[in-house]
Amino acid sequence: MSTIPAELRFAESHEWARQEGDLIVVGISDHAQEALGDVVFVELPEVGKVFAAAGDQAGVVESVKAASDIYSPVAGEVVEVNEALADGPEALNEAPYDSWIFKVKPANAADLGKLLDAAGYKALIGE
Amino acid sequence: MGQRTPLFDLHLALGAKLVDFGGWDMPLHYGSQVEEHHQVRRDCGIFDVSHMHVLDVSGSQAKPWLQHLLANDVGRLQQTGQALYSAMLDTHGGIVDDMIVYQTDEGYRLVVNAATGDKDLAWMNANLAGYDVRIKHRSELAMLAIQGPNARQKIGELVNQERTALIHTLRPFEGQQEGEWFIARTGYTGEDGLEIILPATEACAFFNDMVGAGISPIGLGARDTLRLEAGMNLYGQEIDEQVSPLTSNMAWTVAWMPEDRTFIGRAALEAERVRGITSKLVGLVLEERGVLRAHQVVRIAEVGEGEITSGSFSPTLSKSIALARVPMATADRAEVEIRGKWYPVRVVRPAFVRHGKALI
């Protein structure tokens, strides 16, 4: 099993979140990509989309097998999306912690702290 | 816990991620479904398909019974080894199952789907009265499919001389017994290849030999995208008891002649033909990014609506494809609703890839 980066925070729905200046960068965990299988398409949120609450639907990751919703780990507004995933969605499989999906300007900067830390996420997925 | 094939422990040892398929715990993939798909199209791979059921039919009236039971006519089989594909219908013309029938020295060998085995046997037994026929469920046998352009060459290097000779002389869609093994040049991928039915006790060793020779094990995930690219029906997706073969790209498997062959479902199909066939299976190609999925709605301007029966990403074509049941009139273009938005799709004949080559 791969190591879970200690600097990341996690939602129970398997997104990771990382502080970057005043933004929060979001991707999916290694555990999530492994469960999904080969990712072939990512439906990105639109820049400007507002998440009223943590857990709002933010996009869709489609593997060969199935479509899975992804959720924003925090409330806030989408300010940037990773357009490179359009041509290379497999990056989510190959380097899940280096492949971000969207960046959100959080409504409340303290919300990141409400997410699971690496140890908590590790316990959640039973590793 | 689901049912397990004799190779279950071996799949785990090879790192398989498991999936429930019709009550069986089967390998979904052993790492990457897309890589496994390419492996079969470009070289070859092995599938454990021991969850499928082998039924041997014998007795003095095996032939007339199967001519009554099946929509295709086993009377077309002239000698041991020849095979045909057929639907087994209910009295309404709905498809109870689809299968391959091989003529054997003792009678016929039927290979039916995994999830439908009990239902099939119940249906067969319910329609057995008055016929001198025996059905033997060969659950002691395993079944392996080796598929891909190099499949026969590579397997020929791993088996004894008699089997190698047979493998190189088999015609497409022919299956012959060789010792304890039944070797057929059939498959479900659109590639050349073999299906081998052998004693379960020998299956693990043979599977191991093949893996040892560098042939990749392939899961049901790639099996599904391979058969979808080949435009082949999957029972429970394209076909079931609610649809007839005439709306399922299977009209060619219905043997109307001789006219006095009163197979089960014939009257219903004839009535359907008189009323007019209302729908058909077509292929869809999504030109934009996205993935077509089963049950999405298909809209054809000035024609009507249909529904996707199977959809996925085609690794060979690098775009999404689907099979869909649409109104008979159809058109060259249609639209599919994905999460509330309508995407344009191209409507094509339902075969996307054969022998490694794109057909669309």
DSSP A9: E
Q: Is A84 on the interface with B (CB under 8 A)?
A: no
Give how far the C-alpha of residue B262 lies from the chain's centroid of Cα atoms, to the nearest Å. 26
- Note down the domain range covering A108: 9-124
Q: Is B208 on the interface with A (CB under 8 A)?
A: no
Task: Please give the pLDDT value at position A2.
Answer: 64
**Length of chain A measured in residues:** 127
Please tell me the distance in Å from A62's CA to the nearest CA on chain B: 7
The CATH architecture annotation of domain B278-358 reads Beta Barrel (2.40)
* pLDDT digits 0-9 by tens, A37-56: 999 999 999 999 999 999 99
* pLDDT digits 0-9 by tens, A52-94: 999 999 999 999 988 999 999 999 999 999 999 999 999 999 9
Task: Please give the share of chain B, as a percent, with pLDDT higher than 70.
Answer: 100
- Which residues from chain A sit within 8 angstroms of residue B312, using beta carbons? 64
Task: Please give the pLDDT value at position A104.
Answer: 98
Mean pLDDT of A97-122: 96
* pLDDT digits 0-9 by tens, B15-60: 999 999 989 999 999 999 999 999 999 999 999 999 999 999 999 9
Q: Is residue A2, in this structure, part of any structural domain at all?
A: no
Task: Please give the pLDDT value at position B151.
Answer: 98
**Cβ neighbours for B186, distance < 8 A, ≥ 6 positions apart:** B83, B100, B172, B173, B175, B193, B194, B195
Please tell me the distance in Å from B286's CA to the nearest CA on chain A: 13
- Tell if the CB–CB gap between B221 and A40 is shorter than 8 Å: no
Give the number of domains in chain A: 1
Task: Please give the pLDDT value at position B279.
Answer: 97
Please tell me the distance in Å from B320's CA to the nearest CA on chain A: 9
Mutation pick from B17, B34, B224, B228 vs chain A, by most beta carbons of A within 10 Å, is B34
Question: Chain B residue with minimal CA distance to A62?
Answer: B291
What whole-number distance in Å separates Cα of residue B263 and Cα of residue B70? 6
Please tell me the distance in Å from A38's CA to the nearest CA on chain B: 6
Query: Running along chain B, 360 residues long, what does each successive block of 10 average in pLDDT?
Result: 94 96 95 96 98 98 98 97 98 98 98 96 97 97 98 97 98 97 98 98 96 97 98 98 97 96 98 97 96 98 97 97 97 96 97 94
Please tell me the distance in Å from A41's CA to the nearest CA on chain B: 6
What whole-number distance in Å separates Cα of residue B244 and Cα of residue B250? 9
**Cβ neighbours for B110, distance < 8 A, ≥ 6 positions apart:** B54, B55, B56, B57, B99, B100, B101, B102
Question: Chain A residue with minimal CA distance to B339?
Answer: A60
* pLDDT digits 0-9 by tens, B227-285: 999 999 999 999 999 999 999 999 999 999 999 999 999 999 999 999 999 999 999 99
- Which residues from chain B sit within 8 angstroms of residue A57, using beta carbons? none
Question: What does the domain layout of chain B look like in residue ranges?
Answer: 278-358
- Tell if the CB–CB gap between A38 and B289 is shorter than 8 Å: no
Q: Is residue A116, in this structure, part of any structural domain at all?
A: yes
ipTM over 0.85: yes
Q: Is residue A115, in this structure, part of any structural domain at all?
A: yes
Q: Is residue A1, in this structure, part of any structural domain at all?
A: no
Q: Is residue A15, in this structure, part of any structural domain at all?
A: yes
Q: Is A69 on the interface with B (CB under 8 A)?
A: no
Task: Please give the pLDDT value at position A38.
Answer: 94
At A118, which CATH number? 2.40.50.100
- Tell if the CB–CB gap between A64 and B293 is shorter than 8 Å: no
Strand partners of residue B136: B56
- Tell if the CB–CB gap between A64 and B315 is shorter than 8 Å: yes
Of A38, A41, A86, the CB nearest to B34: A38
B174 is in an annotated binding site: no
- Which residues from chain A sit within 8 angstroms of residue B34, using beta carbons? 38, 40, 64
Task: Please give the share of chain A, as a percent, with pLDDT higher than 90.
Answer: 94
Q: Is B223 on the interface with A (CB under 8 A)?
A: no
- Which residues from chain B sit within 8 angstroms of residue A66, using beta carbons? 293
Task: Please give the pLDDT value at position B189.
Answer: 98
| Terminal alpha carbon distance of chain A | 8
Task: Please give the pLDDT value at position A3.
Answer: 81
Tokens of B98: 């689809």
Q: Is residue A4, in this structure, part of any structural domain at all?
A: no
**Average model confidence (pLDDT) across chain B:** 97
Q: Is B337 on the interface with A (CB under 8 A)?
A: no
Tokens of A45: 């949120």
Task: Please give the pLDDT value at position B319.
Answer: 95
A127 pLDDT band (50/70/90 cuts)?
Answer: confident
Is residue A1 pLDDT above 80, yes or no?
no
Task: Please give the pLDDT value at position B1.
Answer: 79
